[in-house]
Amino acid sequence: MAKSLFLASTGAAAQRPKATEAFLKFCSGSCGKPGFFKTVASNPENCDRLKDIASKLGLSVRDVYGVSVKEAVNYLNSGREASLIEEVLSRYSQIAARSENVLIEGADLEDAQAYVLQGLDGVLAANLASPVVVLSSGTACLAASGARYYLSQKAEVISVVLSGGATATEAKEIELLKNLEIIQVDPAEYDTLPPTIGPKVQGFTPTVVTPKRFEYDLIERARSSKKRIVLPEADDDRILTAAGDILRRGFADLILLGQVDEIHKKGKELGLTHLDKAQLVEIKSAPFKKDLVDQLVELRKSKGLTPQDADAQLNDRNWFGTMMVKAGLADGMVSGAAGTTAATIRPALSIIKTKPGCSIASSVFLMCMSDRILVFGDCAINTNPTPQQIAEIAIISAQTAKAFGVEPRVALLSYSTGTSGTGPDVDAVHAARKIATESAEQLSPGLAVDGPMPVAAAFDPRTAKGKMPNSKVAGKATVLIFPTLNAGNIGYKAVQRTSGAVAVGPIIQGLNAPVNDLSRGCTVPDIINTVAITAVQAQA
């Protein structure tokens, strides 16, 4: 994966074009094959500077920018900032795929419409997960203001470059800048950049993950090895709309179950232009239905299932879709937009069954906060899990977290901290911690599991220091295991509704093949994310 550096500016006087030229030379000599990307460009097709940069890198002008100022203004004025971010990330991914190190330049603030773009650069830097170098030619306070803005947007600033107007000594007197590298250069000559920049860029690992960045990484992972996902509810407009977008973006192959004529009709009404890329299947007339019937009879012969009963059962779209996964005709299934969780999960438990070592299926939500991803479980399936089951949920939730790029530190939640409380509820979590710790030694060596602890001790370092000073989890938990479904469902919804977090899931764990459930209130983005998650699960 390409490394990147975001070159920010506090104004036109910071001479960003000169700095860009110097940084590109610097990067090409120390960081491998260079690339260049401008987030928002003013009149890009007629910009001689962009043409020159693109030519030197062997690229076209269109390769080196995300959107034009005009396009960005249209996105923002129509309330589509999320789509703007997605477009910039998509364009960036193409240059990142052909470069070892990409220098990213922020928006052209000199453009007449630039006032509309104010505040956009920090958002884009955070979503690009790129370290930021702030250029400033003004006072130390102006340099600090620039750094403060990017930090406030969850971007990660690694250096401040002063090119006149302030000295490094003056800058270091400001509290905000004390822990940042301050570089002082001649405003007319940027070639004196110190060699510390290269190692900082190469060694940088993002600690901030925005919801959009998570979705971007998730879809890129799904695209890297496309899987076939069956969607049984093709009569739902949300499913069809999501399917059209998934097929347009090309990160999964889709099988849609429903009446073919009706799917074509609805697709046309909704203005969807990519549904012809999907495999459309009518259950009753599917040429492979007889094979599925035979396989289902064989799977459930101990239950006395007859061919006639199996045929009738497979008229249910969830049973049919699940059997397609079992037979290898699909790699995973997503359903539930128009049905209950039980209707989605029951066929999977009967046909696909749980993995060896898993006594139950369970679920997690990936909670995309403004700057990180948290994992909440079990919030959808197991009502009152036993201590053994809580421990199992904890271990497999940690594995799910790791699979999606979250370093697992598992907190077993309770109203009690450590040994401060007693009673059946607390005793169950104590027992679960003991079992989970013993299991982790064999299944996930080095996994940090602790509890019981309240939410405050799990998240807040100050509370954790007072209540659980020796814990490897308290104060920095990333995986939260709730003691009951009641607590888990209330907990994730409270966080989602009050913090604005994006809740991705429920993700079903423990099955031999991925089958995931949608809420009946799901949105099109929910469906898209769930399909991407199912595809990534299928890759494993």
**What is the mean pLDDT, run by run of 10 residues, along the chain of 540 residues?**
77 63 64 80 84 86 88 86 87 83 77 64 86 82 85 85 79 84 72 65 75 85 92 93 91 93 90 89 91 89 84 91 94 91 89 88 90 90 92 92 89 80 80 88 83 88 87 91 92 87 87 90 88 92
pLDDT of residue 56: 85
DSSP string for 87-130: HHHHHHHHHHTT-SEEEEE---TTSTTGGGGTTHHHHHHHHTT-
Distant-in-sequence, close-in-space partners of 245: CB < 8 Å, separation ≥ 6: 524, 528
Measure Cα distances from 26 to 22, 132, 221, 535 in Å. Answer: 6, 16, 31, 40
Measure Cα distances from 28 to 32, 104, 189, 354, 469 in Å. Answer: 6, 14, 18, 51, 47
Rounded Cα–Cα distance for residues 527 and 252 (Å): 13
**Cα three-residue angle 355-406-497, rounded to 5 degrees:** 100
Domain boundaries 362-510, corresponding CATH code:
3.40.50.10750
Task: Give yes or no on whether 3-208 and 215-351 have one common fold.
Answer: yes
Q: What is the CA radius of gyration of the chain?
A: 26
pLDDT of residue 438: 87
Within the chain, how many helices (H) and strands (E) appear? 21, 18
pLDDT of residue 477: 92
pLDDT of residue 479: 95
User: Would you identify the CATH topology of the domain 215-351?
Assistant: Rossmann fold (3.40.50)
Per-domain boundaries in the chain: 3-208, 215-351, 362-510
User: Would you identify the CATH topology of the domain 3-208?
Assistant: Rossmann fold (3.40.50)
pLDDT of residue 317: 92
- Provide the angle, in degrees to the nearest 10, between the axes of the packed helices 289-299 and 317-326: 80
pLDDT of residue 326: 94
* Tokens, residue 15: 């001479």
